[in-house]
Structure 1
Amino acid sequence: MQQVALNLVAIGIFAVTLTTLTGPFLHISPLVPAGLTFGALTLLTTDRFAWEGQGALLLVDAFASDEQRDRVLHHEAGHFLAAYFLGIPIAGYALTAWEAFRQQQPAGAGGVRFDTSALDYAEVASGKVALAVDRFSTVWMAGIAAEERTYGSATGGGDDRGQLKTMLRSLGFSLQARNQKERWAKLQAQALLERHADAYIALVEAMGARTSVEECYQVIQERCKTA
């Protein structure tokens, strides 16, 4: 069961327990907490198996704090900026679970989406696999680097690290080599964000206004011209 669903179950159990304990004083029938428990478990089960957990993600996302949303914005802008400067095409982006759902993406698959259909074939055909690994590694770590740059710490990035480790493992990298590549990629991302700090700030504003990918490109280009 996904962590989101587990959190909702914990909240539900707490609410039912509280209702059960206070029921006699508030003259609440014992059938009420039992009905709430049954209804909650039915919804969670349906969401898990019929909707692949998207309902829970949409519900949690609806109650996200302003800071959480701002962290997501800065995190994804880091991915976007790194992909732009490293030549990885961007197909689109979503900053909330609802936006991802509206774009017909899984609710938990928001963020920046990369178009690698042509890039992968070109890299493999030219024998530049190592270069492709370096570029994608930097892009994946750029979200964490951007969040840490703004807030001093990163609460997101678990999926990014997971994708990076999966790619490196599939290419035969040892555990030590994977850890070294992750640290190297994070340093590269930090340097890129520092070098293009003005463009990054402008990109955050543009993505916050939900401008198109093409307009975000223009924002970066214009800021680089004036730098």
Structure 2
Amino acid sequence: MEQTSLNLVAIAVFVMTLSALLSPVLNISPFIPAATTFAVLGLATVDSFSWGGKGLTLFLDLFTSSEERKRIIHHEAGHFLAAYCLGVPITGYSLTAWETFRQGEKAGIGGVQFDFSLLSDQEKVSRNPLIVERTFTVLMAGIAAEKVIYNNVEGGEEDKQNLRELLKILGLRAELYQQKENWALLQAKNLLIRHQTAYEGLVKLMERRASVEECQQLIQEKMN
């Protein structure tokens, strides 16, 4: 099961247990919380195996607070700015689960879509290892943005996992993973601070769902 579905299952079990304890006090039939809980568990199971967790993600997206949405935009703007500055092609972005779903992307609350196809060209990568280093920085730029703006991080686990998968593919030893992650995070943080004006303007444009081309044009103008 997806982690979100597992969390819902845990909540459902807790609610059923609590309801069973309180039903005599509140004069509620124990059948009602039990039936509701089993229904939720059934839907979560079907959603996880048939939809890959998309249904639940879309449902929970309806309850995302405005502050969480702002944090998501700041996170994704970090990825966007880093990718543009480091020459990683950007093919699109989404900022909510519904936008992601409409674009036909995998389940998630949103994200910037990159073209990492250059990494598959071993000859170019071997001639220019900076391609890989720049990719690391782009992957960590969302976390760096949260650190710069909020002084803490709530998202980015998938970014870290993608970085570790890439390090694994490249054949680096596991004990070097944290070192590479810290290095990329520092590079991304410095980049965002150096181009703070462009970053702030990009956040505002992405809030309005401006096109990729409009966002790139703004970054170029601010950097000039």
Q: TM-score higher than 0.5 here?
A: yes
Partners of 1:193 and 1:214 lie apart in 2 by 20
> What amino acid sits opposite 1:148 in the alignment?
K
Deviation larger for 23-32 or 96-105: 23-32
Partner residue of 1:144? 143
- Identity, % of aligned pairs? 52
Instruction: Verify: 1:154 aligned to 2:153, yes or no.
Output: yes
Offset of residue 185 of structure 1: 1.1
Match of 2:77 in 1: 77
Any conservation in 2 of the 1:94–1:111 contact (CA below 8 Å)?
Answer: yes
Quote the offset at 1:19 in angstroms: 3.0
Cα deviations across residues 18-65 of structure 1 (Å, max 9, x unaligned)? 333333344432321221122112101110111111112122222122
Partner of 2:123: 124
The normalised TM-score by structure 1 is 0.91
Provide the secondary structure at the position in 2 that maps to 1:112. strand
Instruction: Find the aligned partners of 1:104 and 1:95 in 2 and give their Cα distance.
Output: 14
Question: Which position in structure 1 is the counterpart of 2:55?
Answer: 55
Give the SS at the match of 1:64: coil
Q: TM-score, normalising length from structure 2?
A: 0.92
1:95 paired with 2:122, answer no
CA RMSD of aligned residues (A): 1.9
Q: State the partner residue of 2:111.
A: 111
Cα displacement (A) at 1:114? 0.4
Instruction: Name structure 1 gaps, 5 residues minimum.
Output: none
- Corresponding residue for 1:206? 205
2:8 match = 8
State how far apart, in whole Å, the 1-side matches of 2:144 and 2:102 are.
Answer: 28
- 1:174 equivalent to 2:173? Answer yes
